[in-house]
């Protein structure tokens, strides 16, 4: 079976919400292979502490690829302590130009409590508008739901939880088993 014939891994929705001095990254726990749920309790949101600085990262895509990217991000953060944007740009540059990294199939949402960034394999480091970012199979559903709630009196975690619940109701590759990490600015 060639790589193009392989049914592919699906099953991630990650959302980042920045509101009222808090940033929340939430991710569901579903991993699917084709039409089959392989695992429902995966942890796709992690807290990193390179050089004593707290960073939260959520990943969508291939798990092995995401862990490779998280390790590379940690190394970049250790080289540039407290500079999430700079470390993210350096990672994105490497990702785009390194022949090994170019084959990685994953995306990241990262935050240090001040910045909320999306890092892609196309060499992009994006700071989302409206303080909401979402990636993965149900990302567009979660993004739309969260943006609709940003003017409500809900805090960042409540917005993230509600948006993830809506995405799980719509996207067959997303479930309601959430991992949530919060950081304050």
* Residue 36 covered by a domain: yes
Q: Using one digit for the tens of pLDDT, what is the confidence trace for 69-81?
A: 889 899 999 999 9
* Residue 15 covered by a domain: yes
The sign one gets for the Cα dihedral 128, 51, 123, 106 is negative
How many domains does the chain contain in total? 1
* Residue 2 covered by a domain: no
* Residue 179 covered by a domain: no
How large is the C-alpha radius of gyration of the chain?
Answer: 16
Look up the domain containing 64 and give its range: 9-174
Q: What is the CATH number of the domain that holds 152?
A: 3.60.20.10
pTM of the predicted model, to two decimals? 0.91
* Residue 180 covered by a domain: no
Mean pLDDT, rounded, for 45-68:
87
Residue 162, CB-side half-sphere exposure with 13 Å CA sphere: 16
- Please report which helix (H) or strand (E) contains residue 94, including its range: helix 84-97
12: annotated active-site residue: yes
* Residue 18 covered by a domain: yes
Q: Using one digit for the tens of pLDDT, what is the confidence trace for 123-139?
A: 789 999 999 999 999 99
* Residue 185 covered by a domain: no
Question: Which of 52, 61, 56, 32 minimizes the C-alpha distance to 180?
Answer: 56
């Amino acid at each position: 079976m060639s790589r193009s014939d392989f049914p592919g891994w699906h099953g991630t929705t990650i959302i980042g919400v920045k509101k009222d001095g808090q940033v929340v990254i939430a991710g569901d726990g579903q991993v699917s292979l084709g039409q089959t749920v392989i695992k429902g309790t995966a942890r796709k949101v992690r807290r990193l502490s390179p050089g004593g600085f707290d960073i939260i990262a959520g990943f969508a895509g291939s798990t092995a690829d995401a862990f490779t990217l998280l390790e590379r991000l940690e190394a970049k953060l250790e080289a540039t302590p407290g500079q999430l944007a700079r470390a993210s740009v350096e990672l994105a540059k490497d990702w785009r130009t390194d022949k090994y990294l170019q084959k990685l199939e994953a995306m990241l949402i990262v935050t240090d409590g001040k910045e909320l960034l999306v890092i892609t394999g196309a060499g992009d480091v994006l700071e989302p508008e409206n303080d909401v970012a979402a990636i993965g199979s149900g990302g567009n559903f979660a993004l739309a739901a969260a943006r609709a709630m940003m003017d409500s009196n809900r805090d960042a975690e409540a917005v993230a939880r509600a948006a993830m619940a809506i995405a799980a109701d719509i996207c067959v590759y997303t479930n309601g088993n959430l991992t949530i990490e919060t950081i304050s600015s």
